[in-house]
Structures are given as C-alpha cells and as structure tokens.
C-alpha cells in the first residue's frame, strides 16, 4: 500500500501515527522536517515540462566579462599582418623582448635585437608624442628596417671573414644526414658490384 500525501502533510501524518501508538519511535527526519517544512510539491509545476514530458530548460545568456582591449592590440595585428615572417623568426629564450623596458624614445637600446613588440611599443610612444597612427607606423617600421638591414650586413660580413680565415661553415643536420645516406648507398653499390663479379 502506497502512502500518498502532500509533502507539507507528511510530518503531521507521522505525528498522528506516533500519537495513536502505531509508530513506537519517531523517525530521525521528523524534527528537522517540522522545523523546516518542505514546499507544497516535490514535483515541478506542469508548465515546466513540454508535451513529451521532458523538462523545459530556460537558457539564460551567459554573463561574460567585457573584452579587454589595449591600444597596442590593433597596432600589433597590423604589424604582424604586414610582416608575417616575423612570427616565424627564431628567438632566443634569453633575448630581451622589451616587456620590462620603460623608455621607448628609441626603437632599440644598445645590444637589443628588435622584435615586432619593439616596433609596436615604439609606435605607441610616437603616437603619444602627437604623430598619427600611420605616421608613427611608417617611422617605426623604417627604423626597424634599418636595424634589420644592418644586422643582415653584419652577419654576411662575419661569414665572409670566417671563410677568408679558413673557417668551414657548419653543416646542418639535414646536410649531414644526406651525406651519410649517400655514403651508405655508395657502399651498397660496391657490395652489389662485388657479388655480381663472383
């Protein structure tokens, strides 16, 4: 036999059973239920279900924080759009990238290797001095090109001097692997030639 009654009447019904002596000891949940009575129904209102009997879920818009936008973001996007090769340029982990630098009156300090971030920060500084975004971009990239051209020239001169003094350029891992493969193929040809002669 099933005991069907509203949740609000359960505590009263059990109290009556205790008073009548049908139940000898009160259930553990009785006192908390009397102090904190349940709602009128344990089942959701019928309007919360659709025609198939599944629960309708009201979707609320997720609260999203506003996007954080810095003025450098647009400058950075433009620089790397115009100079995509800068993203693939190998960088040393110890290379200073200008994040801790405060003085941007020059593109590079002595001994610094310019990166895209240097150009962006320098352009931002130039814009703060009154130049337009386009004028600052042209000036910053022009100085960047000069520094990169000087680096390339220094590298080429250093390679030429090294060759002049007898230095042998270091072979890449691919070149070394190809040479080993070629010698192995040459040996196998010689072995096949000897077997055919026998």
CA distance 97 to 94: 9
Judged against a pLDDT cut of 50, whether residue 1 lies above it is answered with no
Judged against a pLDDT cut of 80, whether residue 96 lies above it is answered with no
Of the pLDDT bands very low, low, confident and very high (cuts 50, 70, 90), residue 44 is low
CA 98 to chain centre: 21
If DSSP codes are grouped into helix, strand and coil, which group holds residue 55? strand
Question: In this structure, are residues 87 and 80 in contact, taking their beta carbons and an 8 Å threshold?
Answer: yes
pLDDT confidence of residue 107: 87
What would the two tokens of residue 105 be?
């009156």
Taking alpha carbons only, the member of 69, 81, 82, 75 closest to residue 118 is: 75
The domain ranges of the chain are 7-42, 71-164
Summarised one tens digit per residue, pLDDT across range 145-159 is 999 999 899 989 998
């Amino acid at each position: 036999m099933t005991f069907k009654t509203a949740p609000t009447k359960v505590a009263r019904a059990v109290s009556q059973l205790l008073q009548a002596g049908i139940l000898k000891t009160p259930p553990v949940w009785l006192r908390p239920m009397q102090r904190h009575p349940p709602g009128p129904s344990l089942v959701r209102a019928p309007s919360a279900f659709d025609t198939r009997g599944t629960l309708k879920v009201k979707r609320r818009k997720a609260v999203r924080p506003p996007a954080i936008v810095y003025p450098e973001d647009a400058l950075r996007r433009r620089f790397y759009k115009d100079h995509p090769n800068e993203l693939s340029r190998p960088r040393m982990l110890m290379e200073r990238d200008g994040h801790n630098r405060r003085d941007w009156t020059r593109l590079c300090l002595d001994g610094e290797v310019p990166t895209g971030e240097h150009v962006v920060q320098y352009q931002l500084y130039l814009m703060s001095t009154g130049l337009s975004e386009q004028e600052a971009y042209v000036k910053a990239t022009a100085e960047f090109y000069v520094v990169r051209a000087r680096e390339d020239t220094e590298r080429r001169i250093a390679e030429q001097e090294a060759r002049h003094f007898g230095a042998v350029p270091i072979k890449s891992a691919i070149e070394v692997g190809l040479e080993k493969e070629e010698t192995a193929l040459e040996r196998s040809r010689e072995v096949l030639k000897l077997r055919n002669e026998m």
